[in-house]
């Protein structure tokens, strides 16, 4: 079972009711549309696959965890779009100084555990009983950036959809 802490997102969602009274209805509707659109583009960029993605390409989704953790929150002066905080503590690789979505977006370093077995260093999730007495090491590996959030925003800007959402909800317009 995978547990994701969404305390900050829940508090922000609960605070939306306070924002609704202060923000104009049209502006709020435009922000919700922008958030929904860019979130959809971000989710579509993260595709399924067993092999890792090439550096510079959006990351592949092996379990769907990153893809399904992308949310958007409407604030009074804008919209915040991005993944929930994923620490990556279940597997063998631990990010050094940042969380997993930041690591994929901007690049960085991870620490992996290895054991010397039969003359070769093999990656392990944890050191087990059969690894007692064998040489062990924690190796730091550099991960190249696999941008998906910036690319999604660039796609939305190229198609000029962000300004279209404000034009759709402008004064004198009635939308279903």
The beta strand positions in 22-69, using DSSP E, are 47-48, 60-61
Of 136, 107, 2, nearest to 65 (Cα)?
2
Q: pTM of the entire structure?
A: 0.69
pLDDT, tens only, 12-61? 555 665 555 555 777 888 888 889 999 999 999 999 988 888 998 999 88
Does any domain span residue 95? Answer: no
Number of domains in the chain: 1
Is the pLDDT confidence value at 133 over 80? yes
Does any domain span residue 24? Answer: yes
Does any domain span residue 158? Answer: yes
Calculate what percentage of the chain has a pLDDT beyond 90: 10
**Greater confidence, 92 or 35?**
35
pLDDT of residue 42: 92
Vertex 82, ends 156 and 108: CA angle to 5°? 105
Does any domain span residue 141? Answer: no
Range of the domain at 45: 7-84+148-167
Is the pLDDT confidence value at 174 over 70? no
């Amino acid at each position: 079972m995978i547990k994701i802490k969404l305390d900050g997102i829940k508090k922000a969602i609960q605070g939306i009711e306070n924002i609704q009274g202060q923000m104009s209805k049209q502006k709020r509707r435009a922000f919700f549309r922008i958030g929904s659109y860019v979130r959809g583009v971000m989710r579509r960029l993260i595709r399924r696959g067993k092999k890792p993605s090439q550096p510079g390409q959006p990351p592949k989704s092996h379990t769907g965890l990153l893809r399904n953790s992308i949310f958007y929150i409407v604030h009074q002066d804008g919209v915040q779009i991005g993944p929930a905080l994923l620490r990556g503590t279940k597997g063998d690789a631990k990010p050094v100084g940042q969380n997993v979505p930041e690591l994929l977006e901007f690049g960085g370093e991870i620490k992996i555990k290895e054991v010397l077995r039969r003359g070769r260093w093999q990656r392990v999730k944890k050191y087990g009983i059969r690894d007692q007495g064998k040489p062990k090491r924690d190796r730091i590996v550099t991960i190249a950036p696999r941008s998906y959030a910036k690319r999604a925003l660039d796609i939305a800007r190229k198609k000029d959809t962000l300004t279209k959402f404000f034009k759709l909800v402008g004064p004198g317009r009635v939308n279903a």
